[in-house]
Structure 1
Amino acid sequence: MQLSVEISKYPLHSDYIPFIKSFIERLNKHDGLTVITNTMSTQVFGEFDVVMSVIQAEMKASFEQFGQSVFVCKFISGDLSPEA
């Protein structure tokens, strides 16, 4: 099953840009995902189990490395990427 996810990250820190960039860079290192970033959010597309395990691992890494953040996510079944 394919999954599409839209993620917005809101670090609770005044210097928030490096925290967001780090999360996006780590997402892009995973094979099997399509990651598209714009000024409002990051979209992740791929196989359900892969997407969920990557998001879980990278959210945890963000909390451990940078502290408190708010993640707002939308999960939609299917591949809604522009390339699909």
Structure 2
Amino acid sequence: MNISIDLTLSPLQDDYEKHVIDFIKALRDSEFTVLENPLSTQIYGEFSKLMPFLTQAIETSFENQNICVLTMKVVKTDRSAYEPHF
């Protein structure tokens, strides 16, 4: 089953930019489709492959921070080709 995940990483510390950039680079280096916008990053792929990868990427990111909030929305479909029609 294909899924789409919308992620927003919010480190609660002064050097937050470095942590956000490192997290996005880890996502980009994966085998999955990654799209970015100024507010969040989306990653798309097969559920059984994407979730273990994402678990490890989040754990690595959290280990390098003091306090962090990660907002994640998961949709049960691949929305990577979505284009608004308005």
Please name the residue that 1:10 is paired with.
10
Which is greater in Rg?
2
Counterpart AA for 1:18: K
Counterpart AA for 2:15: D
Superimposed CA distance per residue, residues 9-62 of structure 1 (whole angstroms, 9 cap, x where no aligned partner): 00011221110000000011111x100111000000000011111110011001
Superposition RMSD in Å: 1.1
Which runs of 4 or more aligned residues in structure 1 lie more than 2 Å from their structure 2 counterparts after TM superposition? Answer: none
Please name the residue that 2:47 is paired with.
48
Provide the TM-score with structure 2 as the length reference: 0.89
Q: For structure 1, which runs of at least 5 residues remain unmatched after alignment?
A: none
Pairwise CA distance, 1:67:
2.8
Provide the TM-score with structure 1 as the length reference: 0.91
Aligned pairs, number:
82
Q: Distance in 1 between matches of 2:66 and 2:49?
A: 25
* Residue identity (%): 32
Q: Distance in 2 between matches of 1:76 and 1:48?
A: 10
